[in-house]
Amino acid sequence: MRVTHRMLTQSVSRNIQRNLRMLEKRSNQLSMGRLFDRPSQDPVGTYKVMKITGTGLKRIEQYRRNIGEGISWLTITEGALAEAIDVLQRLRELAVYTANEIFAPTDRRMVAPEVEQLLHHLIGLGNTELTGLYIFGGYQTQSPPYKVAGVAGHLLESWINEESGIVQGGIEVENFATGTYAISTEAGISGPKEAQVTIISQYVQGARENFFGTAEIKVSIISENQEKDLDKSGSVALEIVEKARFSELSLEGEEYKGWEENDLIVRLSVRYYLYSLEGEDNYLEGHYGLRKGEEIYLNLNRLLEEDQQFSFKINSEEKINLTVGKSEGLTFEGDVPLVGDKVILKLKAALPDNGTYDRFSLHKVYGKPGEEGYPLAGETMDWFFTNGFLNEKIPVFKFFDLDKRTGELFTSSIAVKFDQLSTATLEDLPAAIFSFVAPGDPYYVGDSGRRLVEITPGNTLAINVTGEEAFDGVGLFQLVRSMHTALIQNDQHALQKEIIEGLDYHLEKLLKYRSEVGARMERLNVTDERLHVEHIYLRELRSKVEDLDLAEAITEFMMQENAYHAALATGARMIYPSLIDFLR
């Protein structure tokens, strides 16, 4: 073949180009640290890397995050269950201890406060939180799953939505429950007998003893006389009080009169948070606080007779006297001795000794009228306060009973003025009130939702235990309540049998769930370990596919560099000479 100089230059330039291309590819790889960064450089490798990264590594990382979350849930659950087991063991000790015959009834009663404390502790455990979520509520994680049923709702700053007929406002939720409430009416007055109260939604802030929140509730009136109040159905407040003399009511600026002469009025009640009032239920009209010199209407339970005098004390200075009909029957006297951090308040209940006597009781926990623990007229009773009082506030005691069978509610409240109160360093009246008022039936508002998380493809595991499972819904709490009752009522037999058996049953159940939680944690740990190994393996695999062997790459780079230099050198020598150089 004939070879021209142009061919030589072209082939030299081609060779140099080829060498440069290789050098560029290698130096790219070296600077990236990877073998390829485009699919066309290695389609199969690209596919593998995308699969390893996209569905392998990323997913494993997510599973491991899920497992981490699961472990924290189960750890908290385990802690709560362990603590509940401790409490139960303590309760069992107390039960065994007090079931002994040598125990005096009064001594049994002395144990009751501890049991009550333990009950509250248990309920608190049932309301265990993890980063603001209540872990025993099933899917209902945003509000405490355990609530204590109260009897009247205490609305704070409430108002009625005229369109929907919904009462909206703040509510002291712990004391409030969905249910049917009886409406007190005076004999001979026609009108609604019951109000259906439904909690639509509620939001509670703060700890148990110092909570505040808002709730939306719906109140509808169930009437015997449908045509009369049909239009008002669903638009009334919590309490319906007797019209009596206080026929004027201001509600959202609108004046409400009775629907008919001599009928009931519907009233929105505001219960003041600080309990600065002394007297009946502290119901104030409207939405406003009571100011100095202001006059308010006080709506009273029918149990209070005419001419009864109530005094209001505001800021412990001024007194407002209000005379309401007769004043007889209810007198209280009290003093406040301090025993350790517990206050024992002696109340002498001089209950009205008339026909209405059987329509209310002092406290549900303490039994039915006439039963032990229930103060009869003229009796003096010890009340246990587990928290102190606010020293400048006047405590208000509310007596109530809710007859589950008929759904009838009876309430009465008595304010007690303590002359020596200022000498006692008592604080936190609201808490005292609640400990007094609260022990209604605890109830469960959680559900049986199992919080499943995926831990490996297609495999899920529940990271929660619901209150239904762990505490038998409210079974455990009811048992402790009945233990409390048994102690108060000196029911040695119940303590010996049902209570101890029940406690054993629940202990076993809690132990079972605790070990199950342990087993689930173990499974999570094992899975996590396996995922971790898999992650490492996949990373290695990816590294094999896409990572550059640096030593090899640098060696090759240098070899190619040499080849390039050689091509340059030979090229230079080949191009240079021609015949012309040798002709003269």
Partner 1 sequence: MNSTFGSFEIGRRAIHLQQKGAQVTGQNIANANTEGYARQVVHMKALVPPAVPGVVTPPGYGAAVSDITRIKSEFYEDQLRKSLTALNYWEAREETLAGIEIIFQEPGESGLNTYLSEFFDAWQELSVNPESFATRISLREQAVTLTSMVRNIYERMDDYRFDVLKELEAELNRVNSLAAEIAELNQKIVYLNALGKKSNEMLDERDLRLKELSELIDIRVIQKPNGSVEVLVGGRILLHDDRYFKLETRLNEDTGEVEIYNELGAKVIPQGGRFLGLVEAYNMVLPGYQASLDELVFYLVKEVNELHRKWFGLDGSTGIDFFDMPDEDFTIGRASLNFRVSRDILDNLSKIAASSGDSEPGNGQGALEIAMLREKLVMEEGRSTFQDYFRGLIAQLGVEGRESQRMSLAIKTVAEKMEEQQESIAGVSLDDEMLNLIQFQHAYNAAARYLSILDRMLDLLLTELGR
Report the site for partner 1 in 65-104 (rule: CB under 8 A): 65-66, 69-70
- Shortest gap between Cβ of 480 and partner 1 (angstroms)? 26
Q: Which helix (H) or strand (E) holds 178?
A: none
Under rule CB under 8 A, residue 584 binds partner 1: no
CB of 218 to partner 1, least distance (A): 15
Query: What one-letter code names the amino acid at 499?
Result: I
**42 binding partner 1? (CB under 8 A):** yes
How far CA 21 is from CA of 27, 33, 40, 570, in Å, comes to 10, 18, 16, 18
- Residue 440 CA: distances (Å) to CA of 153, 240, 412: 13, 22, 16
- Residue 551 is a binding residue for partner 1 (CB under 8 A): no
To partner 1, the closest distance from the beta carbon of 55 in angstroms equals: 6
**Ordered DSSP codes for 226-283:** HHHHGGGTT---SEEE--TT---EEETTEEE--SSTT--EEE--EE-TT----SSS-E
Structure tokens at 434: 């609640």
Q: C-beta of 579: minimal distance to partner 1 in Å?
A: 4
Q: What's the per-residue H, E or C state across 104-146? A: CHHHHHHHHHHHHHHHHHHHHHHCCEECCEECCCCCCCCCCCE
Q: Which stretch binds partner 1 (CB under 8 A): 40-48, 371-379, 432-440, 532-540?
A: 40-48
The residue within the footprint of partner 1, chosen from 20, 24, 39, 342 (CB under 8 A), is 39
Please tell me the distance from the alpha carbon of residue 392 to that of residue 403, in angstroms, as a whole number.
35
Q: Which is nearer to partner 1, 62 or 331 (CB)?
A: 62
Under 8 Å between Cβ of 192 and 229: yes
Distance, C-alpha 419 to centroid of its chain: 39
- Count interface residues toward partner 1 (CB under 8 A): 59
Choose the stretch contacting partner 1; rule: CB under 8 A; options: 60-68, 190-198, 370-378, 379-387.
60-68
- Which listed residue (20, 33, 61, 260) binds partner 1 by CB under 8 A? 61
The reply on whether position 539 binds partner 1 by CB under 8 A is no
Stretch that binds partner 1, among 34-42, 251-259, 518-526, 548-556 (CB under 8 A): 34-42
CA atoms within 13 Å, Cβ hemisphere of 425: 2
> Whole-number minimum distance, CB 82 to partner 1, in Å?
22
Residue 422 backbone dihedrals phi, psi, to 5 degrees: -65, -20
Candidate list 22, 23, 96, 133; residue touching partner 1; CB under 8 A: 133
Among 126, 137, 170, 440, binds partner 1 (CB under 8 A): 137
In angstroms, rounded to a whole number, what is the distance separating the alpha carbons of residues 213 and 197? 18
Q: With respect to partner 1, which residue has the nearer C-beta, 135 or 182?
A: 135
- Rounded CA Rg of the chain: 39
The residue type of 101 is E
Nearer to partner 1, 29 or 485 (CB): 29
Binding mask 432-471 for partner 1 (x = CB under 8 A): ---------------x-x-xxxx--xx-x---x-------
Pick from 15, 16, 30, 51: which binds partner 1 (CB under 8 A)?
51
Does position 47 interact with partner 1 (CB under 8 A)? The reply is yes
Q: Considering the complex, what minimum distance in angstroms separates the CB of residue 549 from partner 1?
A: 19
Is residue 547 a contact residue for partner 1 (CB under 8 A)?
Answer: no
Element (H, E) at 334: none
DSSP state of 524: H
- What residues numbered 6-25 form the site for partner 1, per CB under 8 A? 6-7, 10-11, 14
Contacts by residues 25-34 (CB-CB < 8 Å, ≥ 24 positions apart): 26/553, 26/556, 26/557, 26/560, 27/557, 29/548, 29/553, 30/548, 30/550, 30/553, 30/554, 30/557, 32/548, 33/547, 33/548, 33/550, 34/546, 34/547, 34/548
Give the shortest CB-450-to-partner 1 separation in angstroms.
9
User: Is 338 a residue that touches partner 1 (CB under 8 A)?
Assistant: no
User: What is the closest distance, in whole angstroms, from the C-beta atom of residue 216 to partner 1 in the complex?
Assistant: 13
Q: Which is nearer to partner 1, 55 or 406 (CB)?
A: 55
Measured between alpha carbons, how far is 365 from 116 in angstroms, rounded to an integer? 11
Q: Which of 89, 100, 139, 549 binds partner 1 (CB under 8 A)?
A: 139
Binder to partner 1 among 24, 33, 58, 569 (CB under 8 A)?
A: 58
Question: What is the rounded distance in angstroms from the CA atom of residue 322 to the CA atom of residue 140?
Answer: 46
392 binds partner 1 (CB under 8 A): no
For 375, which DSSP code?
P
Identified binder of partner 1 from the candidate list 185, 546, 548, 567, rule CB under 8 A: 546
Minimum CB separation from partner 1 for residue 400, in Å? 30
Which is nearer to partner 1, 117 or 142 (by Cβ)?
A: 142
User: Can you give the binding site for partner 1, defined by CB under 8 A?
Assistant: 1-7, 10-11, 14, 36-44, 46-47, 49-51, 53-55, 58-59, 61-63, 65-66, 69-70, 132-133, 137-142, 447, 449, 451-454, 457-458, 460, 464, 546, 578-580, 583
